[in-house]
Amino acid sequence: MKNDLIYNGLNSFAYTDNNFWLEEAKTVFSDNWVFAGCKHKLINIGDILPIKVAGQPIILVKNSKEEINAFHNICSHRCIKLVDQPKNVKKIISCPYHAWAYDLDGNLLAAPHFGGINNHKPNNFTTSNHGLKSIRIKVWYDWIFINLNNNAPNFETYAAPLINQLRNINLKNINPVATLEFGEIKSNWKFLIENFIEPYHVQFVHKNTTSQPLSEHYTIVDGMCYGSGVNLEEEDASSENLAVTSKYLSLFPNFIIGTYFPGQLGVYLNEPVDVDRTIQTRIIYTTEGNNLTESQIEKQKNLWWKVHKEDHGICERLQQGRSSLASLDGGLLSPHWEDSVRAFQQIVIKSINK
């Protein structure tokens, strides 16, 4: 039973103040399981992917056992950034500065001439103490999560509400069929989450790209998972106008997943760059028993590009609106349609105030 209390949203400084973003980097994006990338981007042994989370340079690498490791993207010698672009390093991660070399599990293999000419191991220098700094990692189906400071509970406990929401989908048999690279959006990362998880805007913002009446929507608030859904009696999977039963879910802080009948998923990687800039990528998946032709994939890509460009325009205007003195109190949240947004904002504040 929903209450009928009207709440204010987060104060404007939560979206515009750089110090607030720096605090989020130290708490929200360090204490929790953060979505960092996709397993299918690391195909071969030695594939390495440099990323950035909360301003921290990180690498994801596939080792000889075909497992994915996460390390701080920093050489143990002079702390230079090791890898600056995706590539395959074969068996060795090599520093471009002084040729220190590490294996795919982060062990230091060589520190050439560190103690002088041909003296590679000076007294009191133990290579096993100077490998790459590892980061806690969980690969959940195709999705890679990291916990920077090792403070989060185990992933299955943390993500239990989301796992339950997706219980009717066989995630073991998903197939990535397309990627949409939206690039940099001039919006705080939280606006992109909030916009996705509330249904109030759909019939207004997406009136030309979707047919999902507001009356058929509901909201979801379940621990670290929140979002909305829509149940339609008549499904239309036409690529011209989305009218399908769907769920729009998020796992705090930055994982977004949409489920769309029949047999399609959309997952979003939201990477904050700064207080007012976010990079977003969407991966389209098919689920078990649902195959798309190349033509159908192109139509889906075109549809979702249009839908999300509508969202991005709104989020950029939300960002612009927060520069107004009239927005200092954060505006209002609908007690019926935006309780998911309120739940998300409460977790942000709780994370920062730990």
Q: Supply the pTM of this predicted model.
A: 0.94
> How many angstroms separate the CA atoms of 227 and 221, rounded?
7
* pLDDT attached to residue 240: 60
SS (H, E, C) 214-271: HHHEEEEEECCEEEEEECCCCCECCCCCEECCEEEEEECCCEEEEEECCCEEEEEEEE
* pLDDT attached to residue 214: 82
Q: What is the largest CA-CA distance in the chain?
A: 76
Residue 264, both tokens? 């399609």
> How many angstroms separate the CA atoms of 77 and 87, rounded?
22
Is the pLDDT confidence value at 238 over 60? no
Backbone dihedral region for residue 344 (phi beyond 0: left; psi -120 to 50: alpha; all else: beta)? alpha
Give residue-wise pLDDT tens across range 256-274. 999 987 789 999 999 999 9
Give residue-wise pLDDT tens across range 304-323. 999 999 999 999 999 999 99
* pLDDT attached to residue 260: 86
Residue that wins the pLDDT comparison between 7 and 192: 192
> How many angstroms separate the CA atoms of 211 and 242, rounded?
6
Residue 294, both tokens? 């190349």
Q: What are the Cα distances from residue 258, in Å, to 9, 171, 205, 342?
A: 24, 13, 18, 20
> How many angstroms separate the CA atoms of 205 and 196, rounded?
12
Give residue-wise pLDDT tens across range 103-159. 999 999 999 999 999 999 999 999 999 999 999 999 999 999 999 999 999 999 999
DSSP state of 153: P
> How many angstroms separate the CA atoms of 163 and 288, rounded?
17
The dihedral of CA 185, 269, 339, 16: what is its sign? negative
Cα angle value 14/16/21 (rounded, 5°): 60
Helix (H, G, I), strand (E, B) or coil at 58: strand
Asked whether 60 and 144 are in contact (CB, 8 A), the reply is yes
Asked whether 113 and 119 are in contact (CB, 8 A), the reply is yes
> How many angstroms separate the CA atoms of 131 and 92, rounded?
13
Mean pLDDT value across the chain: 93
Radius of gyration of the chain from Cα atoms?
22
* pLDDT attached to residue 100: 98
Give residue-wise pLDDT tens across range 33-68. 999 999 999 999 999 999 999 999 999 999 999 999
* pLDDT attached to residue 237: 56
Residue 104, both tokens? 């795919």
Of 243, 177, 182, 187, the closest CA to residue 216 belongs to 243
Structural domains of the chain, ranges and CATH numbers in brackets:
7-11+161-352 (3.90.380.10), 40-139 (2.102.10.10)
Residue 58 β-bridge partners = 51, 72
SS (H, E, C) 14-36: HHHCHHHHHHHHHCHHHHCCEEE
Burial of 120 (0-12, 13-18, 19+ CB in 10 A): middle
Burial of 94 (0-12, 13-18, 19+ CB in 10 A): middle
